[in-house]
Amino acid sequence: MDLEYIFNNSPFSSMNIYPQNTVLHLPDIHLKFLKNNNIKYNFNKAEARYLRSIDILRVDGSIIKRIVPPRYPSNALVSNRLVRDKLKTEEYLKKFNIRTPMSKIYDKDDFELAKIDAFKESRNPVVIKPLHGTLGNGVMVNVFEDRFIDNWHEMCNYLHGSREVMVQEFLRGFEARATVIEGELISITARIPPYIIGNGQDSIEELIDQKNKERMKCGVLTNYPIKKHYNMNEFLLSNNISLEHRPAKEEYVLLGSVSNFRNGGELMNITEIVPEEVKELALNTIASFPGFFSGGIDIMMESFLDTEPVVLEVNGFPVLSLAAFPTYGKQTNPSKIYMESIITMDQYINKPRYKYHIEDQERYIGNYLSFIQRRNNLLDTSHQQIFQNLL
């Protein structure tokens, strides 16, 4: 990732500072909106709070939908299962001419074979990650041949009972998360890995400590300090530097290639500066899956003007805080859009006697219907291509 490009070409000159009591996680983000807007709900018990389901209720107390993590009720179960398999998702999206990286799956014990396959035709770096991983856990990026085995074994610590490992081509550029809620594109957020800016005298390790103190001023960033861990040391090693290195003044130093906000990264809302092709890609990706309406799409872009981004993976239960609390740029409220969309469509279809007042109901209905039309157009085009190949 070219950090200087990101910050020199973005329109944002200052960082967003959120209150210390900012609610960040599900289900609390949803509950806060429901409470503040007098929408009836039930919060059902579970062993872990984040697994508790929420019933969205009509005015008369009957159930509209039940949100049971990790799936939104408006998303079809078959598609939700499909997107959890990264390789099947890639193969599926290719049928709709949606660009995805080249990948191959191995058993966790086949690291020697995987290494031979990865570098037999090229010395370019690769990505190693668990096939069924989430939140960037265990993802090893920018892996060269000499560190392949070490990175493989470190990744195995995150398999959690699974044996399947994905080796993927390494793509240059930066990663962004597009969030689609009930057929509406909410935001496209660049995910910036942890970094520091040199001052000409302090070491990388000292600069990390200083930056973590600054992050504590923000009610969002204070929860996610820059972490010094194996992946960081591996990344610095691949660039022939260490935590003791003293960068020059104003020198940007990337501390990793994995765009994981939880490890001290930052978020930039770039929705208004990317071309329409990126927005269309996000909507088409979600629309291509039967019965799918909400999701997060991870895409790789070479620049803000990239018109041919690559879809890395699809998440059927996206982390809404990525869209809700960008470090730079416009803040959005995906929970509001989700809840109001669900209620609006229920009132539009079922016409209950007593209704909630939804100010933007016409927009929600229009977005939903146009999304259905988008899906139909995609399926028609795909089926035509299949039949042409058969004839």
* Per-residue pLDDT tens digits for 309-363: 999 999 999 889 899 999 999 999 999 999 999 999 999 999 999 999 999 999 9
The answer to the question of residue 137 being in a domain is no
Q: Give the amino acid at 14.
A: S
Residue 54 and residue 182 in one domain: yes
Give the per-residue pLDDT at 257.
76
Give the per-residue pLDDT at 386.
55
Give the per-residue pLDDT at 279.
98
In angstroms, how far is the first alpha carbon of the chain from the final one?
45
In three-state form (DSSP H/G/I as H, E/B as E, the rest C), the secondary structure along 227-285 is CCCHHHHHHHHHCCCCCCCCCCCCCEEECCCCCCHHHCCEEEECCCCCCHHHHHHHHHH
Residue 185 and residue 54 in one domain: yes
The answer to the question of residue 148 being in a domain is no
Residue with tokens 């062993």: 47
Phi-psi region of 57 (alpha: psi -120 to 50; beta: other; left: phi over 0): beta
Domain boundary at 240, 264, 288, which? 264
Percent of the chain with pLDDT over 90: 80
Closest of 15, 145, 66 to residue 342, by C-alpha: 66
Domain boundary at 264, 291, 325, which? 264
Kindly tell me the burial class for residue 77, based on how many C-beta atoms sit within 10 Å of its own C-beta (0-12, 13-18, 19 or more).
exposed
- Please count the other Cβ atoms lying within 10 Å of the Cβ belonging to residue 102: 10
Percent of the chain with pLDDT over 70: 97
- β-pairing, 174-181 vs 63-67, is unpaired
Domain that holds residue 220: 194-264
The answer to the question of residue 117 being in a domain is no
The answer to the question of residue 44 being in a domain is yes
- Residue 389 pLDDT greater than 80, yes or no: no
CATH number at residue 343: 3.30.470.20
Domain boundary at 209, 237, 264, which? 264
Q: How many domains does the chain have?
A: 2
pLDDT confidence tier of residue 261, bands split at 50, 70 and 90? confident
46's CB contacts (< 8 A; 6+ apart) are 52, 53
Reduce the DSSP state of residue 160 to 3 states and report it. coil
What average pLDDT score do residues 15-35 get? 95
The answer to the question of residue 4 being in a domain is no
- β-pairing, 252-254 vs 310-315, is unpaired
Residue 257 and residue 277 in one domain: no
- Residue 16 pLDDT greater than 60, yes or no: yes
Closest of 70, 68, 39 to residue 56, by C-alpha: 39
Closest of 239, 238, 215, 240 to residue 227, by C-alpha: 215
pLDDT confidence tier of residue 230, bands split at 50, 70 and 90? confident
Strands (E), the chain: 41-43, 54-57, 63-67, 103-107, 126-130, 140-143, 164-169, 174-181, 184-192, 195-197, 252-254, 266-269, 295-301, 310-315
pLDDT confidence tier of residue 100, bands split at 50, 70 and 90? very high
The pTM of this model reads 0.90
The answer to the question of residue 254 being in a domain is yes
Q: Give the amino acid at 263.
A: N
Give the per-residue pLDDT at 229.
84
pLDDT confidence tier of residue 140, bands split at 50, 70 and 90? confident
Closest of 250, 245, 209, 247 to residue 227, by C-alpha: 209
pLDDT tens-digit readout, 56-91: 999 999 999 999 999 999 999 999 999 988 889 999
Instruction: Report the mean per-residue pLDDT for the chain.
Output: 93
Residue 247 and residue 318 in one domain: no
Within its chain, how far is the Cα of 56 from the centroid? 25
The answer to the question of residue 335 being in a domain is yes
- Residue 177 pLDDT greater than 50, yes or no: yes
Residue 274 and residue 212 in one domain: no
pLDDT confidence tier of residue 105, bands split at 50, 70 and 90? very high
Eight-class DSSP state of 70: T
Residue 240 and residue 344 in one domain: no
Residue 212 and residue 296 in one domain: no
- Residue 208 pLDDT greater than 60, yes or no: yes
Residue 186 and residue 311 in one domain: yes
Ordered DSSP codes for 271-329: TTTS-HHHHHHHHHHHHTSTT---EEEEEEESSTT-SS-EEEEEESS--THHHHS-SBS
Residue 56 and residue 181 in one domain: yes
Residue 318 and residue 181 in one domain: yes
Residue 367 and residue 277 in one domain: yes
Q: What is the rounded distance in angstroms from the CA atom of residue 210 to the CA atom of residue 131?
A: 36
Residue 29 and residue 178 in one domain: yes
Q: Is residue 126 a contact partner of residue 167, using CB atoms and an 8 Å limit?
A: yes
